[in-house]
Amino acid sequence: MSNPLSKIEFAAVPGVYNAFSAMLAEKLGAKAIYLSGGALTSSMGLPDVGLISISELASAVRQIREAVDIPLIVDADTGFGESMNVWRSVRLLERAGADAIQIEDQRMPKKCGHLEGKEIVPAGEMAEKIRAAVSARKEALIVARTDSRAVTGIDDAVERAKLYFSEGADVVFPEALLNRKEFSRFPRLVKGPLLANMTEFGKTPMIKAQEFRKMGFRFVIFPVTAFRAAARAQELAYSAILKEGTQEGIIDRLMTRSEQYEVIRYDSYTRMDSDISSGRRKVRKGG
């Protein structure tokens, strides 16, 4: 299997939610990005409880893939249904541009992994979904997330992780571990690439990426950090406009026009237009 994520020894992976955020992460040197279900749904004005469709997710993946070249991990929730639904979801998302597709063992309606009241499906049911995902993919990695730590305990999370690897998962994501001891325990007991979630305001204490690396994790995602930062900045901007009637007081907090254009590679489109107009860029004839 030739997958760019397989070549990455370790990566801190920022969460993105649209093409611009993905382009900014790429510009700043991200090795890979994570399309967060929590960030994407919030950007759509929805809670992360499984309300969006596979078509909506695939559309977001296509927009991001068109904008950036770095590897993209996609949060596909529970796979949009049972095993056959998972099979089709993986096919659609890989064609849209996903380099890795994450599915989780929650029961619908799913919840954020750091909220109470989650339910999980039997391990055998998740194993079927993993087999379906593996049979559907061509090159994409399959990331199997288990939410069992908060429901049935750390020991079950370890056993599920082992099972998910045995069924063909390429990466296992143990969600909502509570402390460094639990994170350190996982790589010792579970052999295979592991992904950690360093979300803020959740059950996991703040742990730096390099510490996760030393523990034995391959990827560390920061799924909603950028969205929350952008949301706070937008709140300040709207407040200034509506209360002060001017953005003058926050002008030093704004990305400049030239910086904005640099992220979206505005000049490359200007050059292309000029080249086409002058004849320097030849248009291929169909046939």
pLDDT at position 262: 96
pLDDT at position 110: 73
Residues 268 and 168 in one domain: no
Query: Which candidate, 94, 57, 96, 55, places its Cα nearest to that of 75?
Result: 57
pLDDT at position 278: 84
The CA-atom distances, in angstroms, between 7 and each of 167, 169, 210, 218 are: 22, 17, 18, 11
Residues 204 and 157 in one domain: yes
Helix (H, G, I), strand (E, B) or coil at 152: coil
Rounded to 5 degrees, φ, ψ at 11 are -155, 135
Report CA dihedral (256, 258, 259, 265) to the nearest 10 degrees: 150
Residues 265 and 185 in one domain: no
pLDDT of 54 over the 70 cut: yes
CATH number of the domain enclosing 204: 3.20.20.60
Q: Alpha-carbon distance 23 to 265, whole Å?
A: 9
Residues 254 and 127 in one domain: no
Which of 226, 248, 270 represents a domain boundary (last residue)?
226
Beta bridge pairs of residue 141: 100
pLDDT of 284 over the 70 cut: no
Q: Alpha-carbon distance 180 to 206, whole Å?
A: 10
Residues 167 and 218 in one domain: yes
Query: Which candidate, 84, 83, 40, 80, places its Cα nearest to that of 61?
Result: 40
Does a structural domain hold residue 97?
Answer: yes
Region of 178 please: left (phi>0), alpha (psi -120 to 50) or beta.
alpha
Does a structural domain hold residue 152?
Answer: yes
pLDDT at position 258: 96
Residues 52 and 148 in one domain: yes
Q: Give residues with Cβ within 8 angstroms of 122, minimum separation 6.
A: none
Residues 18 and 134 in one domain: yes
Helix (H, G, I), strand (E, B) or coil at 32: coil
Beta bridge pairs of residue 34: 15, 73
DSSP 8-state code for residue 106: B
Residues 75 and 139 in one domain: yes
Number of domains composing the chain? 2
Query: Which candidate, 107, 181, 175, 187, places its Cα nearest to that of 144?
Result: 175
Tens digit of pLDDT for each residue in 119-173?
A: 999 999 999 999 999 999 999 999 999 999 988 999 999 999 999 999 999 999 9
pLDDT at position 287: 38
Helix (H, G, I), strand (E, B) or coil at 76: coil
pLDDT at position 130: 98
Residues 68 and 210 in one domain: yes
pTM of the shown model: 0.93
Residues 207 and 235 in one domain: no
Sign (positive/negative) of CA torsion 162, 163, 168, 169?
Answer: negative
Which of 226, 247, 269 represents a domain boundary (last residue)?
226
Does a structural domain hold residue 44?
Answer: yes
Does a structural domain hold residue 78?
Answer: yes
Confidence of residue 273 (pLDDT cuts 50, 70, 90): confident
Please say whether the beta carbons of 262 and 269 come within 8 A.
Answer: no
Domain that holds residue 124: 4-226
Tens digit of pLDDT for each residue in 200-222?
A: 998 889 999 999 999 999 999 99
Average pLDDT over residues 182-209: 95
pLDDT at position 114: 63
Which of 204, 226, 248 represents a domain boundary (last residue)?
226
Tens digit of pLDDT for each residue in 62-114?
A: 999 999 999 999 999 999 999 999 999 999 999 999 999 999 999 887 766 56
Does a structural domain hold residue 154?
Answer: yes
Q: Alpha-carbon distance 15 to 205, whole Å?
A: 18
Does a structural domain hold residue 285?
Answer: no
Higher pLDDT, 124 or 287: 124
Confidence of residue 286 (pLDDT cuts 50, 70, 90): very low
